[in-house]
Amino acid sequence: MNNGFDLSGRTILVTGASSGIGARFGRTLSASGAKVILAARRRDKLEALQTEITEVGGQALAVSMDVADEGSVIAAFEEAEAEWGPIDGVIANAGRNANGHSLELSVEDFDGLMAVNLRGVFLTVREGARRMIKNQDPQKKSGRIVIVSSITAKKVTPGIPAYSASKAAVVQMGKVMALEWAKFGINVNMLLPGYIETDLTADSFKTDSGKMFLNSFPRRRLVELSELDGIINYLCADASSAITGAEFVVDDGQSI
């Protein structure tokens, strides 16, 4: 019996694919049979990941993309489609942080974060949807869009007001898009990971304050990147055909 998780025949673009969650998604989706377009600003990192994936039999293509720049987003989609044809999946994962309590956060840092985390998601997802609508048969209900948010959209955490706001905003924006695009056979869902062990976060949780924060979690641990594999495959697969406008929290109970 086919469990619906085979991604063969799908072409999926992943932003922020040069490291962390995005890079993991590139490996995971390609291992499930998808042709994966790796998009980010750091071309050297993307090409290294492309080589890694192709050497184990996967299909990957590196394209340069600055999600905050509409021209760059369009150019990346054009390059990918010229190489591989229509794209039927988009993972809007690119993001950045700006630490600082509300009284300290500069306008420049606030605007820079929103340009990537909110406008960047909008530009990426909209461009993907436009192309899906143009190229797809709506009866197949095959368009898949996943917006990567965060549990900070729900869990109030001091020191990251702009980041939290941006992650809450993309959840609501995604629900509106899900409603608007349902008639075109496009599913839009939101993934809200908890605190995850990556190269960028590992050291911070080794500090005294980081250890205290970690010990406040029900299982006193970080979510592992591999624990997102199942949900990202599901949301990109035929098995999720009836799922749209939904929020998926994967945080090991950290937000309880």
- Pick the catalytic residue from 110, 122, 163, 217: 163
Angstrom CA distances, 5 to 34, 90, 132, 232, stand at 11, 16, 20, 10
Four-CA torsion 59, 63, 66, 69, nearest 10 degrees: -120
Q: Which amino acid is at 7?
A: L
Place of tokens 């720049």: 69
Is residue 163 among the annotated active site residues?
A: yes
Angstrom CA distances, 215 to 74, 157, 227, stand at 44, 15, 20
Contacts of 189 (CB under 8 A, 6+ apart): 145, 146, 147, 174, 178, 235, 240, 243, 244, 245, 246, 247, 248
At 114, list the tokens.
């929103």
At 233, list the tokens.
């495959």
Q: Which of 126, 88, 91, 97 is nearest to 21 (CA)?
A: 91
How many CA atoms does the CB half-sphere of 36 hold within 13 Å?
37
Q: What is the distance between the alpha carbons of residues 54 and 52, in angstroms, rounded to a whole number?
A: 6
Q: What is the distance between the alpha carbons of residues 111 and 33, in angstroms, rounded to a whole number?
A: 38
Active site residues: 163
